[in-house]
Amino acid sequence: MSSVPTPAAKDSAGRRLRDFWARVTEGLEIEQLWGQLRSEAAASYGLYSKDVDWDAIKQQPNKWKRPLLAAWALFQVMLMKLSPARRVLLLVAIFMLVFQGDIRWGGGGMRINLGAVGVLILLLLLALELADRVTMKRDLEIAREIQQWLVPSQAPQVPGVDIAFATRPQNTVAGDYYDAFLRPTVGAAPGSPSLILAVADVAGKSVPAALLMATFQASLRALAATPASLDEIVDGLDRYARAHSLEGLRFTTAFLAELDPPARQMRYVNAGHNDPILLRSSGQVERLSIGGPPFGLPFSTNAEANYPSGLVQLQPGDLLFIFTDGVIEAVNDVEEEYGEKRLLVCLQARPKDSPAANVLRQVMSDVNTFVGQVRQRDDITCLVLRVTA
């Protein structure tokens, strides 16, 4: 006698299935999942294809063989990304899947299907790779926590100034750096600190760039704790960067500024960084470009680097937007860059009395809308300063 599931049992099974699907997809819709898959596939293809000798493939006279050669070259690149033992396992699994059939095992007449064994070997390889990924991710998460300790979680409270900042790394850790902190004004009486602003971008990505970012932060904080002027701080940062830049391979672009809040005077140096945007309360747009080359360029390339500083007088209602190139170089699914023009339009469209945090959210939202599901290619960092009084 067959039993018919009750409506309550059907509802319970359906609910468990929906819960399982929600956990697997993390609540994303099918369109979002498809967009994420396309983005990840494009990023993976870029990782493997850069090691392929495409010129040799193009020289193949038989154009019908080129796709086969390209597929074989990509397979070899993927294979060499594995450890030697896993390469052998993968080749064995592929052999078993291609030449499927049964083989006898032992004297009892047991038969083993090669295709099934090949699938099990592939699952074993997947488990090994996932274990490596989880271990690496855990280590990167620890590195990310340490990196978050190096940058402020909250903006300093400065009368007459409203500050907001945000960063979004391409990977778990970033080579971008931002900071905003108070220090005693050089030559001034105690109790009248100045505000140091910094946004920097170390060449490269992920862990190597993050390590250099940490040394940059330590150097800046150490120099700012001395009576050194902004010009002396900049020179010290460049000397340190030159000594640790691997002959210019790991240079750093940066924008550094020191603001005297009571006088609203800001001295700044732009070291090869994207020119920050200063929107005056009158609607006028200024770009802060005075400075020199990125920190860490070798002497042979730039033997007499110097960093002149600029001075601007801020007024109530002025807004300063400092950013890294990850903002304007964000691309959508047709490889179109966000660009400075869109950024400027977004900033000019803000309500004049918008808090710095709202301006920051507006820009980040505009960038997100522009790129859609395309995978982020670079670290994104922004710092907003608004003069309130």
Q: Give the predicted TM-score (pTM) of the model.
A: 0.72
Answer whether residue 4 shows pLDDT above 90. no
pLDDT of residue 245 exceeding 70, the answer is no
Q: What is residue 173's predicted lDDT score, i.e. its pLDDT? A: 66
d(CA 324, CA 198): 11
Residue 66 lies in a domain: no
Over residues 139-155, mean pLDDT = 75
Q: Which domain holds residue 216?
A: 155-387
Query: Could you tell me if residue 126 is inside a domain?
Result: no
Give the pairing type, strands 277-279 and 291-292. Answer: unpaired
Work out the angle between the directed axes of helices 84-98 and 66-80 (0-180°, nearest 10): 140
* Start-end of H helices in the chain: 7-25, 30-49, 54-58, 66-80, 84-98, 114-150, 206-224, 230-243, 325-328, 339-348, 356-371
Q: Are residues 191 and 46 in the same domain?
A: no
With vertex at residue 101, the alpha carbon angle to CA 100 and CA 106, rounded to the nearest 5 degrees, is 130
Residue 316 lies in a domain: yes
Q: What is the mean pLDDT of residues 93-101?
A: 84
Residue 312 covered by a domain: yes
Q: How many domains does the chain have?
A: 2
Q: What is the mean pLDDT of residues 363-372?
A: 91
Q: What is the mean pLDDT of residues 170-188?
A: 76
Neighbour count for residue 292 (Cβ, 10 Å): 18
Whether residue 84 lies inside any domain: the answer is no
The domain spanning residue 310 has which CATH number?
3.60.40.10
Last residue of a domain, one of 31, 50, 69: 50
Q: Does some domain include residue 380?
A: yes
On whether residue 106 sits in a domain, the answer given is no
* Chain centre to alpha carbon of residue 309: 29
Percent of the chain with pLDDT over 90: 37
Residue 67 falls inside a structural domain = no
Beta strands in 207-318 (DSSP E): 252-260, 265-271, 277-279, 285-287, 291-292, 310-313
Average pLDDT over the chain, rounded to an integer: 85
Please, are residues 180 and 163 in contact by the beta-carbon 8 Å criterion? yes
In 151-205, alpha helices (H): none
Q: What pLDDT sits at residue 239? A: 86
Do 34 and 182 have their domain in common?
no
In the predicted model, what is the mean pLDDT of residues 190-211? 80
Residues 39 and 170 in one domain: no
Helices 206-224 and 230-243, axial angle in degrees (round to 10) = 140
Q: Which residue has the tokens 């090691």?
A: 51
